[in-house]
Chains A and B, each alone.
Chain A
């Protein structure tokens, strides 16, 4: 298997007959072990792009390969785990049973499920909470359960749709650090949708900047901050330079009507 995890070629998506163009001519290659952020104004189709990669939305045109297979095949093979903005935990299941849901669907034995569950609880630091119900947890803890569920069956690809968007700033920074630790520990590839510039720069190896109406990729900015990232990373001058660079790219492609030539696709 080669080192490309996601390969999107000429992806467009139009909703309804002659309706809104959510995505236009998306070209994107994501390599193994990368952390890619999709950033852009609301309506730029970043969540739609994530769902196209996950085969939850079918593209109108174009070809999308995940792990060298069609996105559909990859979904059936359970090649990715997904985390949404809402934790989407099942209220009627305990933390343990929420995390083990995908394992149940995969037909794992109880012993194997419990072993993996213990590992997952440790990974997201929720030991002792396995018997709690989701509504007994804080927002940050709920999202950690959601991440543990997405990683429980060890998918090589993690899709995240504004997972920390509903959290307060403090919790969000802590979750960012935890996510980077998990990313390093599991060696997975992450595609991360966000509308926070600082979050995108802090987390990513590359930031994909998108513009709205129609949703296009305007710029891809490599983030050359040192790994592993720490709390000090946010205070480095290079961090601010990159934040500025992403912000300018956003404005250039955004609603300011200073739309540049659309020839800056890819790298």
Chain B
């Protein structure tokens, strides 16, 4: 127990050290370039590189007199984007897993589907987002029209499914051949082999994919908000602050910070779930 507390303290210490190091790098770079008057690769001033304390500080200022703090708006926006990203992640992970399972099972599909799966990821998401978001605007399923934010989730899902598909294929095929023979010796049905052997064996691969997909779903949600004129999420604020960058650069940096924090939060949720779900030799858990 003591060592556990000790290692937790060590982790916090490392985290603080890294943060302090990043701060020193940023401010040191600023100082050096300003002092020496260097202008390459870009001139340093409070527009190109606002002070970190100004960026963090702006979160705790009201945008306008008498309004709530910026952090309050950021929190709401982050939660809104998180909802889009989480739904997108769920859809993408599910579709990605099913696609991967089909490809792993039917070798024919490897050639039939995989090229299109790869091609889907080579299309710049910025080019695709408006098509999906605007195109899905008029869709209704049996009289039910999806909410606007759900269209953004589709973009998030689009970025999510690819790593899941690729790793599902690898993971499902990673089962030890002797373990498969063992299942055959029990005359196990294919369905049982899948759920009792192949899927558990694929778990480390799946969670690697989920970690990539979790952060990608946040990026997908932010980008999906841009062409859909949704104002409630981080994407809306990014567009907004982008227009006023010359006046208040700290604001845009602050949103970026919040978006990054959201991505990290998603990542950590996956890590936590992995620790709860996957029982492996300790040295294999990373």
Identify the A interface with B (CB < 8 A): 51, 54, 56, 75-78, 80-82, 84, 86, 88, 90-93, 101-102, 104-106, 133, 135
Q: List 5 A-B contacts (CB under 8 A).
A: A75-B184, A84-B178, A102-B186, A135-B280, A135-B281
Which among B192-200, B241-249, B263-271 touches the partner chain? B192-200
Binary flags per residue of B155-190, CB closer than 8 Å to A gives 1, else 0: 000000000000000000000101101101111100
Cβ of B185 and Cβ of A56 under 8 Å apart? yes
Cβ of A54 and Cβ of B200 under 8 Å apart? no
User: Residue of B at shortest CB range from A153?
Assistant: B186
Q: Which of chain B's residues 130-149 have a Cβ closer than 8 Å to chain A?
A: none
Cβ of B187 and Cβ of A76 under 8 Å apart? yes
Q: Does B279 contact A (CB under 8 A)?
A: yes
Q: Does B203 contact A (CB under 8 A)?
A: yes
> Beyond A105-B188, A105-B192, is A92–B182 a contact (Cβ under 8 Å)?
no
User: Residue of B at shortest CB range from A102?
Assistant: B186
Cβ of B280 and Cβ of A92 under 8 Å apart? yes
Q: Does B63 contact A (CB under 8 A)?
A: no
Chain B residue numbers with a CB within 8 Å of A88 are 176, 178-179, 182
The SS class assigned to the A binding surface is: loop
> Beyond A88-B178, A88-B179, is A82–B279 a contact (Cβ under 8 Å)?
no
Identify the B interface with A (CB < 8 A): 176, 178-179, 181-182, 184-188, 192, 196-197, 200, 203, 278-281
Cα distance A104–B200 when bound, in Å?
Answer: 16
Given A56-B184, A75-B187, 10 additional A-B pairs, CB 8 A: A54-B185, A78-B187, A80-B185, A86-B178, A90-B196, A90-B200, A92-B278, A105-B188, A133-B281, A135-B280
User: Residue of A at shortest CB range from B183?
Assistant: A105
Chain B residue numbers with a CB within 8 Å of A51 are 181
Cα distance A75–B196 when bound, in Å?
Answer: 19
The SS class assigned to the B binding surface is: helix
Cα distance A93–B179 when bound, in Å?
Answer: 13
Chain B residue numbers with a CB within 8 Å of A75 are 184-185, 187
Cα distance A135–B278 when bound, in Å?
Answer: 14
Chain B residue numbers with a CB within 8 Å of A56 are 181, 184-185
Shortest CB-to-CB span from B183 to chain A, Å, is 8
Shortest CB-to-CB span from A139 to chain B, Å, is 14
Cβ of A82 and Cβ of B278 under 8 Å apart? no
Cβ of B196 and Cβ of A91 under 8 Å apart? no
Chain B residue numbers with a CB within 8 Å of A76 are 187
Cα distance A91–B280 when bound, in Å?
Answer: 6
Cα distance A121–B286 when bound, in Å?
Answer: 33
Cα distance A255–B196 when bound, in Å?
Answer: 44
Cβ of B178 and Cβ of A92 under 8 Å apart? no
Cβ of A133 and Cβ of B178 under 8 Å apart? no
Chain B residue numbers with a CB within 8 Å of A92 are 200, 203, 278-280
Cβ of A84 and Cβ of B182 under 8 Å apart? yes
Residue in B176, B179, B186, B278 with the greatest tally of chain A CB atoms within 10 Å: B186
Cβ of A81 and Cβ of B192 under 8 Å apart? no
Chain B residue numbers with a CB within 8 Å of A80 are 185
